[in-house]
């Protein structure tokens, strides 16, 4: 993975994901290290962020490297300066770029013109770093991924897309329940089915998805950039709230997951997100550990004998 981009979770093979999870577990136990000294990361965002910004910045610092945050107002990607020019300039300063963009195409252009690796820190199409942290969290909670069933209730969005593909690559079953106009795209569904033929279910019935699941996952109904659709979406998603009644259809030891930020009272009730089986804050913490493994793999560290380190 050294020197490679991560624009989509499909840039990783199943083995890469397993190694990154193993590395993340190892790095989580080791804390601060001097692995990436002399390396730097630009964190360039077109949209707001709490978790992704803090976890990328801290990941670099905890590995002995530097991080520079560029806020939405500062960069003006494609406005103040063309995307190719921004890519070429940043490549002269830093060793990698983590970018959060409205359009996935912007990320692709950045990667095309950048001489250094580009990491997708969320686009309208995918959120691969979230999926890595999620699979790390599931591994910690359940011991393994193979054979587990994850039920995603809600929008077939960026988070769902990366998670479905990551789950199908790692032997999990993935069920998604969305209203008719908000289903996941056919291309992603076909790709996931090519990885896990019998393990993928796409339905408009939340109860069918959740019944007997090991993990119940949801995300906001209106993502960043869709604020003007919020009213229309809350109507369409009205029957898709993860409340105690829906969650009770999952296995008795099922966990609840959400990438956050959550809109409490919309896609999830307080009772579920604050309940004993909710792991949402562990998930948020794991963004840090998963991204440390990713940065170590992409930027190359020193003599830490991590599982995926020398690939
Ligand atoms: N889950 C996530 O990406 O959170 P932020 O938008 O706060 O970075
Ligand atoms: N689907 C959400 C995820 C936020 C982390 C969004 O794109 O806004």
> Which ligand has an atom closest to residue 182 CA?
2
Separation between Cα atoms, residue 185 and residue 267, nearest integer Å: 21
Residue 254: pLDDT band with limits 50, 70, 90: very high
Say yes or no to pLDDT of 58 above 80: yes
Separation between Cα atoms, residue 66 and residue 42, nearest integer Å: 9
The average pLDDT across 117-128 equals 98
Measured between alpha carbons, how far apart are the two ends of the chain, in Å? 6
Q: Can you give the pLDDT at residue 301? A: 58
The more confident residue out of 16 and 309 is: 16
Q: Can you give the pLDDT at residue 197? A: 78
Alpha helices in the chain (DSSP H): 14-30, 51-62, 72-75, 83-93, 104-113, 128-142, 158-169, 186-195, 206-210, 230-236, 244-247, 270-273, 280-299
pLDDT above 70: percentage of residues in the chain:
96
Q: Can you give the pLDDT at residue 119? A: 98
Pick the closest to residue 45 from 114, 97, 3 (CA basis).
97
The average pLDDT across 166-178 equals 97
Ligand 2: list residues with CB < 6 Å. 122, 157-159, 219-220, 223-224, 259
Say yes or no to pLDDT of 302 above 60: no
Q: Is 50 in the pocket of ligand 1 (CB under 6 A)?
A: yes
Instruction: Report the predicted TM-score, pTM, of the whole model to 2 decimal places.
Output: 0.96
Q: At the topology level of CATH, where does 130-283 sit?
A: Rossmann fold (3.40.50)
Q: Can you give the pLDDT at residue 198? A: 87
Give the residue, out of 122, 176, 229, with the most ligand 2 atoms within 8 A of its beta carbon, to mutate for a pocket test: 122
Q: Is 100 in the pocket of ligand 1 (CB under 6 A)?
A: no
Q: Is 122 in the pocket of ligand 1 (CB under 6 A)?
A: yes
Residue 309: pLDDT band with limits 50, 70, 90: very low
Give the residue, out of 176, 230, 259, 263, with the most ligand 2 atoms within 8 A of its beta carbon, to mutate for a pocket test: 259
The average pLDDT across 279-301 equals 95
Q: Can you give the pLDDT at residue 225? A: 95
Q: Can you give the pLDDT at residue 76? A: 82
Give the residue, out of 157, 229, 263, with the most ligand 2 atoms within 8 A of its beta carbon, to mutate for a pocket test: 157
pLDDT tens for residues 89-118?
Answer: 999 999 999 999 999 999 999 999 999 999
Q: Can you give the pLDDT at residue 3? A: 83
- Asked if residues 216 and 256 have their Cβ atoms less than 8 Å apart, the reply is yes
| 130-283 and 9-127+287-299 share a CATH fold | yes
Say yes or no to pLDDT of 138 above 50: yes
Q: Can you give the pLDDT at residue 296? A: 94
Q: Can you give the pLDDT at residue 54? A: 98
Q: Can you give the pLDDT at residue 306? A: 53
Q: Can you give the pLDDT at residue 51? A: 98
The average pLDDT across 3-22 equals 94
Class of domain 9-127+287-299: alpha beta
Q: Can you give the pLDDT at residue 311? A: 41
How many A from CA of 56 to the centre of ligand 2? 17
Question: Domain boundaries in the chain?
Answer: 9-127+287-299, 130-283
What is the DSSP code (8-state) at residue 150? E
Residue 152: pLDDT band with limits 50, 70, 90: very high
CB atoms within 10 A of CB 245: 11
How many A from CA of 223 to the centre of ligand 2? 5
Q: Is 134 in the pocket of ligand 1 (CB under 6 A)?
A: no
């Amino acid at each position: 993975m050294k020197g490679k981009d991560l624009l989509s979770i499909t840039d990783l093979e199943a083995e890469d994901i397993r190694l990154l999870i193993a590395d993340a577990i190892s790095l989580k136990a080791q804390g601060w290290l001097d692995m990436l000294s002399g390396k730097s990361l630009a964190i360039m965002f077109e949209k707001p962020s709490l978790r992704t910004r803090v976890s990328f910045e801290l990941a670099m610092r905890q590995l002995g490297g530097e991080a520079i945050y560029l806020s939405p107002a500062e960069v003006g990607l494609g406005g103040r300066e063309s995307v190719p020019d921004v890519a070429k300039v940043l490549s002269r300063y830093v060793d990698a770029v983590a970018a959060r963009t409205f359009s996935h195409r912007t990320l692709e252009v950045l990667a095309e013109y950048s001489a250094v690796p580009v990491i997708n820190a969320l686009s309208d199409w995918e959120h691969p770093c979230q999926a890595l942290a999620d699979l790390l969290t599931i591994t910690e909670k359940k011991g393994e991924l193979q054979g587990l069933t994850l039920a995603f209730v809600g929008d077939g969005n960026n988070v769902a897309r990366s998670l479905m593909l990551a789950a199908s690559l790692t032997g999990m079953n993935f069920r998604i329940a969305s209203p008719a106009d908000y289903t996941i795209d056919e291309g992603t569904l076909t790709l996931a089915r090519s990885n896990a033929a019998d393990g993928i279910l796409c339905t408009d019935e939340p109860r069918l998805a959740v019944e007997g699941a090991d993990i119940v996952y949801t995300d906001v109904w209106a993502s960043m950039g869709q604020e003007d659709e919020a009213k229309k979406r809350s109507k369409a998603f009205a029957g898709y709230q993860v409340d105690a009644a829906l969650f009770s259809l999952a296995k008795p030891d099922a966990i609840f997951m959400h990438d956050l930020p959550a809109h409490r009272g919309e896609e999830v009730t307080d009772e579920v997100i604050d309940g004993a089986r909710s792991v949402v804050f562990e998930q948020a913490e794991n963004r840090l550990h998963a991204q440390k493994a990713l940065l170590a793999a992409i930027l190359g560290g020193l003599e830490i004998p991590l599982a995926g380190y020398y690939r």
